[in-house]
Amino acid sequence: MMSDDVSQFFILLVKKTGKKKDKYMISLRSSSRSKSEVLAGTLLFLIEQSTKRDEYIFVLETFETGPDANSNTIQLTCIPGEAELVERNILDLLISIPNCAERLAVYQDKEWLSEAQSIKLGDRVFVKMKNHDTELEGTVRYRGRVPDSDGIFFGIELDQKGLGTCDGMFRKEQFFTCPPDSAVFCAVHRIRKRIVVNVSQALAKQSVGGQSFSMDEAKQNLKIGDRVVWMSDHGPESGSVKWIGTLPLDNKGEITVGVEFDEPVGSGTGKYKEHRLFFAKQNHASLIPLLGLLKEDEFYSPGSANTAYPVGGPMLDIEGSRLRVNTERLDPMDCDNNEIGLKGVRKSNSLGKKGGHVEKGMNPLYEFNKIEGIEKSDGEKVRSLPQKVPNADPDLSVDSMVEVLGNPTLYGVIRWIGATHEQPYKQIAGLEMEKEISAGTDGTFKGERFFHCAPKRALFVPLYKCKKDQRFPAKPVADPLGATAFGSIPTQDIDGSVSPPSSLHKTTMGLNKGIQGHHNSCYLDATLFAMYSFTTVFDGILHRPRNDTDLKEYNEVQRVLKDMIVNPLRTCNYVRADKVMKFRELLDKFGKISGMMSEEKDPEEFLHLLLTQIMKSDPLLHLSSGEDSNFYQLFIEKDELLLLPTTQKLIELSFIECNVKLKEVPSCLIIQMPRFGKEYKMFRRIIPSLELDITDLLEEGIRECIICGDLATVECISCYQLHGPGLNATAFCDNCNTTNHQHKSRRSHKRHPIHVSKKFEDHWRQSKRLAEQNKDMSREPDIALYREKMELFAVLCIQTSHYVSFVKCGTGTSAPWVFFDSMADRMGEQSGYNIPEVTEVKDVSKWLSTDSMEKILKIENDKDLPIQIRRLLCDAYMCFYQSTEVSMFK
């Protein structure tokens, strides 16, 4: 039984191996006897917790009594993401489900779980009975606990008497009263709430093919149990409504209807992916868009045969994930080469045939167009409208970029044209779509493979429904590089000097924006986008004339970078991969790092190759140690108490440990995070500071005394964190330095003079003397002690060997941020190409501010952070800072 005094409960999301414990040994330090497998979906409670190395260590005890339950106490180690905290009200619903797999399915189906929480007495529900092919309808008469069981159970009075197991009594306790064998008690995994959708309201909000449906086309509410008709390619199919809602993970909110058809039409039983939506007989369940259905009585009513009716989109055979698509609003007779069956009409497969065979020399499409009627069961013909099959665009072929008419319009590339076994007389196009489609496949149709593509990207439609993609020119722009493998959006060379946009515009964002990736180029794409999309800090290398020590090919490299990449990026917001490949070819040819054409590299390798080896630009950083570099890698010792470091904190610690200073203010400071390789990170999360105060990192700078505020002349690194959290707390004037170090614990501190220009020091002293002479002690010196700060403008991130970038669009804390991925999407497989994308990221400055640190610390599971913010905090690889003042002179 479950203990009420346990405060934290979890559900296991993945299968794990734990260690069995003796029944009364619940300490983490107790020795284990043997290992035991713990299934995903197991309910657990927390006894002890450790956060060492970012792992939670639990002693877990299962308390369900079903077939998957463990009878022993289990010691189990989990990392974030393997188990989730479960609220008590949710726990009460889950614990009554005896099977771990079914429990996990309900938990992960947030719609089902939310629905279960809302079920109350009197609600109408459907119940899946054991040994029944379909579900039974009933009314909730009891919700609560039952004897000898944990969790919430539901008592349902069934509409069909005699199919239940009791009369409202469960384990000798009467919870409600109903006829004998007319009630059942069950957990939430066996019931679904009956949902009624107002079709009129739904139709008012939805349209197909750009044509909205009026209220007159929906006379009644559609509800569970209604009889409906769907017009398939073989004629009308009748069935009963079993489920109404939006498909799991469908962000468009399109209303879909689950139908159990009278005849085998679908290939499932009411399960969509991993989600159980309803129950139906095997191979009778399908999902139909709301606009694709008619009430059965309306369809078969007199005079309805030739009236327009809505056909709204893909018919999905759930569990098989196969589809047929109509994306336009069709008339009943606009069914291509399929015969329409009416009530009392025998469906026939004799269209364009004689004796069931295609007559030699007959054009099936032409002959079908001439059919004037449909054969009745008594041999009579019913007059119908003449058929007309639209002609397909003769210029369409495999690899044509097309759009499919509908609302919204869909875009893709034709990968296959032909006929299917289901529709031997119709030209069908197999499309690889730009974006995933909820009913898409991987290139299969009705179990037959026609081409290969990513899952949910294949769509099969009649060829005549496709037309050329109007977003692109009818004739491709001449491409001197022959780069047909990178798509049809060209990048024109743009010479001259082009400034970056000063703010974010709509034309900057979306698919096919930024720099297109190709052959492991993400490290280079993300870095170039950070360097040039919204800042001029690196523009010096675009315009510096060649000198005698440069490569002979210097001008060519400079021209390709400026005219083929930077200027088009700033002007057209898009750079095709062939231009980048030309640039990579030059880097590979003239640099000292091999494999630039195709191998995975890191941003620091590219920066060193471009800035140091080929362009020979002045190093960005000049250190007091005598080293010059274009980026600074943080080297620090691991501090277990530093739970959420900022880049400000880390660079101060690194400068202290390495005993270095900056000789001058850099125009750009690139900081490489303390991580090694692509996997190991020293810190779980790092906050890139929006501003980097480098005043105390400079070898020669103007600093103020931490105690009195006077001009500082001495620095004592040994006093770090004694008088404050930052490096600024190590600076003292002469008087305060003497007083501070009179303490016996600080007498041995090693101190160093702070270098201040003699001219500034004299001016400061003179200003102070004048103030004293005027007996105005409150007067400050004429020259204030300002802080030298740099502004964060980009962050490169890495996850599973893939680099992306976050870039600020403009300057100042209020400037918006974008996220760039050069390989966000893909068109085709080996012969295809990547699609880059730029998207706006909200509240970046808010999340990176010091005010958010406490909020972030409270979020234990990284998955609870917004996905883009999670990448920014957890996957940061390089942070780019700029000094807008210094960059103007370099």
Q: pLDDT tens, 210-219?
A: 333 333 333 3
The DSSP H or E segment spanning 365 is helix 364-370
Q: What is the DSSP string of 399-423?
A: T-EEEE-SSS-EEEEEEEEE--SS-
- Which has more confidence, 765 or 668? 668
The pLDDT score that the predictor gives to residue 25 is 40
| Residues 199 and 294: beta-carbon distance below 8 Å | no
**Amino acid identity, position 376:** K
Instruction: Tell me the pairing of strands 675-676 and 680-681.
Output: antiparallel
Output phi, psi for 101, to 5 deg.
-65, -45
Res. 177 pLDDT band, cuts 50 70 90: very high
Q: What is the DSSP string of 20-43?
A: EE-TT---TTSPP--EEEE-TT-E
Tokens of 837: 């994308």
**Vertex 671 angle, CA 670 and 674, to 5°:** 160
Q: How many helices (H) and strands (E) does the chain have?
A: 19, 54
Output phi, psi for 575, to 5 deg.
-130, 120
Q: How many residues does the chain have?
A: 890
pLDDT exceeds cutoff 70 at 445: yes
For residue 291, give the 3-state DSSP assignment: helix
| Residues 857 and 582: beta-carbon distance below 8 Å | no
The alpha carbon dihedral of 611, 612, 618, 624 has a sign of: positive
CA-CA distances (angstroms) from residue 282 to 133, 235, 291, 421, 751? Answer: 8, 21, 25, 22, 83
Please state, in angstroms and rounded to a whole number, the distance separating the CA atoms of residues 749 and 736: 14
Q: Beta-carbon neighbour count of residue 313 at 10 Å?
A: 26
The pLDDT score that the predictor gives to residue 478 is 46
| Residues 621 and 697: beta-carbon distance below 8 Å | no
Res. 701 pLDDT band, cuts 50 70 90: confident
pLDDT exceeds cutoff 70 at 253: no
Residue for token digits 């190093």?
A: 619
The pLDDT score that the predictor gives to residue 316 is 45
pTM (2 decimals)? 0.49
Output phi, psi for 170, to 5 deg.
-135, 120
The pLDDT score that the predictor gives to residue 162 is 84
For residue 296, give the 3-state DSSP assignment: helix
pLDDT exceeds cutoff 90 at 140: yes
Res. 650 pLDDT band, cuts 50 70 90: very high
- Which has more confidence, 725 or 172? 172
Q: pLDDT for 483-529, tens place per residue? A: 456 877 888 899 888 889 878 887 888 889 999 998 889 999 999 99
Highest averaged pLDDT of the listed ranges 560-569, 667-676, 692-701, 810-819: 560-569
List active site positions: 522, 802
Lowest mean pLDDT among 545-554, 563-572, 708-717: 708-717
| Residues 136 and 158: beta-carbon distance below 8 Å | yes
Highest averaged pLDDT of the listed ranges 6-10, 373-377, 797-801: 797-801
| Residues 237 and 208: beta-carbon distance below 8 Å | no
Widest Cα–Cα separation across the chain: 122
CA-CA distances (angstroms) from residue 285 to 183, 254, 271, 666, 739? Answer: 26, 19, 9, 66, 85
**Helix 100-108 and helix 110-118: axis angle, to 10°?**
90
The pLDDT score that the predictor gives to residue 34 is 66
Q: Which residue, among 233, 231, 260, 232, has the nearest Cα to 244 in the 3D structure?
A: 260
| Residues 795 and 878: beta-carbon distance below 8 Å | yes
Instruction: Tell me the pairing of strands 876-882 and 789-799.
Output: antiparallel
Please state, in angstroms and rounded to a whole number, the distance separating the CA atoms of residues 61 and 74: 6
Please state, in angstroms and rounded to a whole number, the distance separating the CA atoms of residues 770 and 42: 78
| Residues 822 and 845: beta-carbon distance below 8 Å | no
Please state, in angstroms and rounded to a whole number, the distance separating the CA atoms of residues 860 and 857: 7
